[in-house]
């Protein structure tokens, strides 16, 4: 069983990396098509568990304790196969 | 229209960040449930385009030129509403 955790900055928090990437894309000729860029982390965790509910509970704890800074970041968890 | 681009290290490339996170999770009491951790980037691009095919073509160019280092990284692109 695998958990895919996406961690991104909350709305309203300045996204430096996203802004820099947006600027770089503009200079590379994508100015007209790119409206906004935001950058986050994707964390893929292989789990020793076959119980989806248990997996989700444990991964939520991991997010709260370590993976996300919940003051400025949001996260979502997807449990797969 | 929005593109979600996930960029991760190729299989076989050492994932320092993933290893460090795995170790930290072990010490936080998740040793039994965590088998492996890999960390990548998630880039969310808002696009001025309503044509999915055009969007995918342009975002593929962005990945090849800037967003991914294709020597060591893989990427996948998801186009959403």
Contact A39 B36 (CB under 8 A): no
Q: Does the pLDDT at position A1 exceed 90?
A: yes
* CA–CA dist A37, A15 (Å, integer): 9
Tokens 């509910």: give the residue: A53
The interface predicted TM-score of the complex, written ipTM, equals 0.91
| Sheet with strand A34-47: strands edge to edge | A73-80, A2-9, A34-47, B34-47, B2-9, B73-80
A60 touches B at CB < 8 Å: no
- Residue range A23-33: average pLDDT? 97
Provide CATH code, domain A2-80: 3.30.1280.10
The predicted pLDDT at position B36 comes to: 97
Dig out the tokens for B4 from the structure: 């979600």
Tell me if chain A has a CB within 8 Å of the CB of B30: yes
Confidence of residue A12 (pLDDT cuts 50, 70, 90): very high
Closest chain A residue to B17, measured at CA:
A43
Q: Is B37 within 8 Å of A47 when comparing Cβ atoms?
A: no
Domain boundaries, chain B: 2-80
Q: What percent of chain A has pLDDT over 90?
A: 99
- Cβ atoms of B7 and B78 within 8 Å: the answer is no
* Alpha-carbon gap, residue A54 to A71, rounded angstroms: 25
CB A56 within 8 A of CB A1: no
What does the radius of gyration of chain B's CA atoms come to, in whole angstroms?
A: 16
Mutate to test the interface with A, among B62, B64, B66 (most CBs of A within 10 A): B62
Residue A54: closest CA among chain B residues belongs to which residue? B33
Average of per-residue pLDDT values in chain A: 97
Reported as half-sphere exposure (CB side, CA atoms, 13 A), residue A75 has a value of 24
User: Which residues in chain A have their CB less than 8 angstroms from residue B46's CB?
Assistant: 34-37
Residues A7/A66, Cβ–Cβ less than 8 Å: no
| Residue range B25-68, pLDDT digits in tens | 999 999 999 999 999 999 999 999 999 999 999 999 999 999 99
């Amino acid at each position: 069983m695998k958990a895919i955790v996406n961690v991104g900055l909350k709305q309203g928090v300045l996204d430096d990396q996203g802004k820099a990437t947006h600027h770089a894309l503009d200079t590379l000729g994508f100015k007209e098509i790119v409206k906004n860029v935001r950058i986050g982390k994707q964390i893929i965790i292989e789990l020793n568990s076959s119980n989806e509910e248990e997996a989700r509970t444990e991964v939520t704890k991991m997010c709260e304790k370590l993976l996300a800074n919940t003051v400025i970041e949001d996260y979502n968890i997807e449990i797969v196969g």
